[in-house]
Amino acid sequence: MLLTSLNPAVVAAGADIADAVTIGGTTLSRSDLVGAATSVAERVGGASRVAVLATPTATTVLAITGALIAGVPFVPVPADVGAAERAHILTDSGAQAWLGELPADPGGLPHVPVRLHARSWHRYAEPHPDAPAYVMYTSGTTGAPKGVQTSRRAIAADIDALSAAWAWTPDDTLVHGLPLFHVHGLVLGLLGSLRIGNRFVHTGKPSPQNYAAANGTLYFGVPTVWSRVAADRQAAAALSSARLLVSGSAPLPVPVFDRLVEITGHAPVERYGSTESLITLSTLADGERRPGWVGLPLDGVQTRLLDDAGDPVPHDGETIGHLHVRGPMLFDGYLNRAEATADVLAADGWYRTGDVAVVDEAGMHRIVGRESVDLIKSGGYRIGAGEIETTLLGHPAVAEVAVVGLPDDDLGQRIVAFVVASTAAEAVPDELIEHVGQQLSAHKRPREVRLVAALPRNAMGKVLKKELT
């Protein structure tokens, strides 16, 4: 059963938790979840798909849980998405109704409300493991967003593998303040908690103060969140009593990693995944946690790194290759996009991630970045932007940085660093270029450093490098 901890037999046997889910000012017990979500299931059973406005509220939790109980795939829709993108998601997914909250413009779809105090104890048969759980739309960096179809079996396999990797148990209290329309906040945070059976606390705004007050054992955050926590010594110190700090969705800067270790005593767990693959790589609760490295393949996962000719690259920790992954948590394909699916998902199960990485002799992986924006080909060299970014973040004058390759008539691409200056020291472009030259090979030095007030980011904190020109 995907929602293991919500099995009515488990609850009836005494496994209820009075504060199983706390979100948006509401606390739901385990029996609250079962009764209210089953009431939702009764109203949506038989639908092909429903749209859920994925706000951090109890209504969203019950809408999603009720759809899963009924075996109705749901489509999480960001609350702040633009009108054109929302219309595309609704049309492309074929959602038949809004379940739960309504956006300002519902696009003509009927509304199925969620009643927080309604209860039903009807028993639903568990849907087939291969049935789709949801259709989640990608950010659409190239063209319109694509609907990623993910099965119940894939979600269960991924959560179980993470349970083993992170020693994640029902005794944990999982805390985060991330959106519920992405894998990180929705699948790992909410659905993971519903499967494992731990307490789940959503902080609303993921501020250092809210994290510090949550009294969790397991914390999830994106690098932007951890950077703010690390900058607030008092809040960070309050996390010393936690068991595990987990960072993902973008690379965690090494200085932030180091500061969290210094203040909390915890080396953060870093992991890697995507909407299409869920989580496939992670450092381990009882293993090495190396700054800038995302760890080993989870149980059941295989990886391979290939060069441009399709040949394996050496596992020397230096040679960059295109990352492919295979495992039971992969998606079933893009909705209505057979050609796009075939471009990335081979018949033998290998998924071409679009990321480039290196792997060392021990099997530890470091993600260099996206093929399209983080693999820079300059003067005949293949250069990873991430290595240069890490080096620049080691300079006291650099608070944030994004490195890109811009077109160059002579070099093919020239390395340009966009830097947000810190207040600790004066940021002088020539000095920053020289700093990289002292740490890395000469061909990895930026040809130009541009000082900017901020870097463009999406809702998950990822830098939108295609906007840097």
Is pLDDT above 90 for 186?
Answer: yes
pLDDT at residue 11 is higher than 80: no
Would you say residue 155 has pLDDT above 60? yes
The pLDDT assigned to 290 comes to 92
pLDDT band, residue 249 (cuts 50/70/90): confident
Average pLDDT score over the chain:
92
Per-residue pLDDT at 142? 55
Percent of all residues in the chain with a pLDDT value above 90, rounded to a whole number: 72
- Is the residue at 143 inside a domain? no
Specify the pLDDT at position 460: 57
- The number of folded domains in the chain is 1
The pLDDT assigned to 226 comes to: 95
For residues 250 and 458, give the distance between their C-alpha atoms in angstroms, rounded to a whole number: 11
pLDDT score at 461: 66
Residue 353 φ/ψ, nearest 5 degrees: -70, -25
Span 61-77, mean pLDDT?
Answer: 97
pLDDT of residue 358: 94
**Is residue 225 in a domain?**
no
Residue 426 confidence (pLDDT): 86
Per-residue model confidence as pLDDT tens digits over 318-358: 899 999 999 999 999 999 999 999 999 999 999 999 999 99
pLDDT score of 83: 86
The residues facing 279 across adjacent strands are 273
Confirm whether 70 is domain-assigned: no
- For 288-312, write each residue's pLDDT tens digit: 999 989 999 999 999 999 999 999 9
421: in domain: yes
Residue 386's pLDDT is 80
The whole-number pLDDT of residue 169 equals: 96
In a domain, 379, yes or no: yes
**DSSP assigned state of 268:** P
Residue 432's pLDDT is 93
Q: Using CA atoms, how far apart are residues 98 and 90, in angstroms rounded to an integer?
A: 10
Asked whether the predicted pLDDT for residue 140 surpasses 70, the reply is no
Phi/psi at 334 (5° precision):
-85, 135
Q: Which of 188, 233, 189, 190 is nearest to 209 (CA)?
A: 233
Question: Tokens standing for 253?
Answer: 């800067």
| pLDDT bucket at 13, cuts 50 / 70 / 90 | low
What's residue 334's pLDDT? 97
What residues make up the domain containing 417?
375-467
Residue of 222, 269, 226, 225 lying closest to 248 (CA atoms): 222
Of 79-83, 211-215, 460-464, least confident by mean pLDDT is: 460-464
* 189 has pLDDT over 60: yes
The pLDDT value recorded for residue 459 is 62
Is 433 domain-assigned? yes
Minimum mean pLDDT among 232-236, 287-291, 422-426, 430-434: which range? 422-426
Which CATH number characterizes residue 413's domain? 3.30.300.30
| Residue 394: per-residue pLDDT | 84
Tens of pLDDT, residue by residue over 118-127, are 999 999 999 9
Structure confidence at residue 384 as a pLDDT band (50, 70, 90): confident
| Buried-exposed string 341-377: b where 16+ CB fall within 10 A, e elsewhere | beebbeeeebbbbbbbbbbeeeebbbbbbbeebbbbe
Is residue 422 situated within a structural domain?
yes
Lowest-confidence region among 3-17, 128-142, 366-380, 442-456? 3-17
What residues does 448 pair with on adjacent strands? 416
Domain presence at residue 424: yes
pLDDT, tens only, 84-94: 889 999 999 99
